[in-house]
Each structure stands twice: as structure tokens, then as C-alpha cells.
Amino acid sequence: MTMINQPEIKFGRLSNDTLLVSLIGEWTLHKKLPVFEDFQKQIESSHSVQRILFNTEALTAWDSGLLIFLTKAIDFCSQKNIGIEKESLPLGIQKLLDLASPEYQRKGITHGVSHKSFFVKVADVAFNFIRSSKEMIAFIGEAFLAFLKLLRGKANFRRSDLFTIIQDTGAQSLPIVSLISALVGLILAFVASIQLQLFGAQIYVADVVGIGMVRVMGAIMTGIIMAGRTGASFAAQLGTMQVNEEIDALKTLGISPMEFLVLPRMLALVLMMPLLCLYADLMGVLGGMFVGVTMLDLNVMEYYHQTKAAVTLTHLWVGLFHSAVFGILVALSGCLRGMQCGRSASAVGYATTSAVVTGIVSIVVSTAIITFSCQVLGI
């Protein structure tokens, strides 16, 4: 019995051009396998061999040791233009040899590479746009229904999560909002002063900075900051939960992910955006005041009274309306891309990038729509 289990190779003739190779015993790595040179010498000594068949009836076990031997045999026979009938081998060995073949590797490299015509590409883009639009509309509808359940007091989410997200989107965003808003105020003041100094009207720098920051720029800069900071965070959090199948677990438990995950994030950002916008307006005005006082020889109280006279409550409410809309758009973009995330690490990165791009584009488009509407309405 022990001798039978030893790996062995025997040669026999089926015809003048066909060689029968019998594989016997256990072809495993912990056994002493036959030397490949013996197979090579046998083939070289048989000049009339054109085809090789395998007999595996006495093969009791095998592993990668047999695969290595057969791979060498196939490579050697291909160089000698000798055909090998792999169909006589066990099915598992055939599949593994096919996977290891150079033809399969080249097929894998070029798999899926096809040259599509221009019209096919246009059709693909159109269908993708339609499909993504349907998903977005469905997501907005689900979010609206979750908000209605909140108004009825039936929304299922943890209040502690809401307060944690409020802290993250509100207080922890103040440093970056302070820096960017103050710099934007400085830039507006510099740009305005270049032209206003030509007419000796430096005092109107306060009007430009005040109206620009309060009406639109404060809200836009805050929205862009939150899209890059909070929107990306929402997408990464929900995308990671999607990868870890935590969202599927919530659905299995009968908990709506829209209510439990998306709703508190939307509420937190909608509540915090107007407050951050007010703070950004203040920092932008202070940045413009710094330029006016230090470079344009304006008095602090003079700048203050000019800003107070120029900025009205209408400008303030328009800016706050901008910020509230931006809060909804950034939250929807981040949560939507996070919920659409695939089940891989690269998918999380793509979802994060897509959330930032979608948020910023939606901010710019909504700004144009609101500004045009205000101009038509005379606001």
C-alpha cells in the first residue's frame, strides 16, 4: 500500500505518434516527486511522438506539486510542437491549468476593453443620467417622508446622535469657517479698493464687503466649506457602514436607515448652516474692516456706520435663506452618495469624492437660481 501511494510516472505507447503518460500515487508536495528531467528525456528520445495522453486512474491524491509538473510539461511540449490532451486529466486540474495559461492571462488583461461608437457612448451617458436622476428623486422623496414622520413625532432615531452631529457640524467647524471668511472679506476689500481709490470713494469698500458677505458670499463660502468637510464626512461614514453591511443589519432589524442615519444628519446641518453663515458674515466684515482701517485710512466707527447703513435685513434674510438651502443640499449629497456606495474601499473613496463634487455643483446651481429669482422679484 505504501508503494502504491508513492508518486510515479510510467510511459506507454498507444500508437506510433501517441504517448500514454500514467500518473500513479499521491502527487503532493510532502512526497518525493518524480524528476521532470526524466519526462523530458523520454519525450526527446521518442522522435515520432506528436500527441500525449494522460492516464489518472491510479492517481490517489494531488496538489500544486502535480500542477507544477504538468505546467512544465505543457511548456516543454509546446516548444516541441507536441499536443497534450488535457481532457484526460481530472476536471479540477484542467480548470487550474487553464487559469495559469498565458492565453487566459492575456484574455484577463484585455477583458472588457472594447471601442464603443460615439452614439453608444452618448446613449450610455444618457441612460446613466436618467438612472441617477431617478435614484436622486427617490432619495429626496424618502427624506421628505422621514421629515414628515419627524413632525408627527414618529421618527426613529437617537437624539444623542443628533446632538453629536450638531457639535461636529457646528462648533468644530468654526476655526475653518473663521479663517476662510476673514480671508474672503480681505479679498473683497482689496479688489474693491483698487477701483474705488481712483474716485476717492474708499468708504464704499464697507458697502461692497458688507452686502457681498451678508447677501451671498458668506453663505456660499460656508456651504463650500461644509461640502468639503461635512458632506464628505457623511458620505464616508455611510459608505463605510454600507461596506460593513451595517445598513443591511438595520434593515433586517426593521429600522429605517433613512430615519436612523440620514434624518439626524440633515437636521443637524440645516440647523447649523444659518448660524455658521451669520458667523461667516461677521468674520468677513471684520476682514474687510481690517483692510479699510489699516490700508485705506478709514476710522473704525466710520466703517461700522457705513456698513450698518448699507446692509439691510433683506440682505440678511436672503443670505440666511441661501445657507438653509445649502445645508439641505450638502446633507442630501453626502448622504445620497454614502447610501449609494459599493462594497469596497475604493467605492468609499469614490462616494466621498462624488459627494463633494455634487455638493459644490448643487451650491453653485442653486445660487444662480436664487439670485435670478431675487432679481426678478426685486428683492
Cα–Cα distance for residue pair 348/13, rounded to 1 Å: 60
Which of these ranges, 78-82, 108-112, 309-313, has the smallest mean pLDDT? Answer: 108-112
Phi, psi of 79 (to 5 degrees): -70, -30
Q: Provide mean pLDDT across the span 128-157.
A: 84
Cα–Cα distance for residue pair 367/360, rounded to 1 Å: 11
Give per-residue pLDDT as tens, 347-361. Answer: 888 889 989 999 999
Q: Which residues contact 159 (CB under 8 A, 6 or more apart)?
A: none
Residue among 195, 205, 201, 227 at smallest CA distance from 325:
227
Above 70 in pLDDT, residue 23?
Answer: yes
In this structure, the chain runs to a length of 379
Enumerate the domain spans of the chain.
2-110, 157-377
Which of these ranges, 88-97, 184-193, 288-297, has the smallest mean pLDDT? Answer: 88-97
Confidence of residue 1 (pLDDT cuts 50, 70, 90): very low
H or E segment and range at residue 186: helix 174-196
Q: Which residues contact 2 (CB under 8 A, 6 or more apart)?
A: none
- Inter-helix orientation angle 159-169/263-294, to 10°: 20
Residue among 47, 339, 371, 72 at smallest CA distance from 220:
371
pLDDT of 194 reads 84
Residue among 268, 57, 70, 64 at smallest CA distance from 166:
268
Are 23 and 52 in contact, with CB atoms under 8 Å apart?
Answer: no
Q: pTM for the full model?
A: 0.66
Class of domain 2-110: alpha beta
Phi, psi of 132 (to 5 degrees): -65, -35
Kindly give the pairing relationship between strand 18-27 and strand 8-13.
Answer: antiparallel
Q: Per residue in 149-167, is it b (16+ CB within 10 Å) or e — as a string?
A: bbeeeebebeeeebeebbe
H or E segment and range at residue 39: helix 36-45
Give per-residue pLDDT as tens, 257-292. Answer: 888 888 889 899 999 999 999 999 999 999 999 988
- The average confidence (pLDDT) of the chain is 84
Query: What Å distances lie between residue 153 and 139, 254, 270, 328, 332, CA to CA?
Result: 21, 18, 18, 20, 22
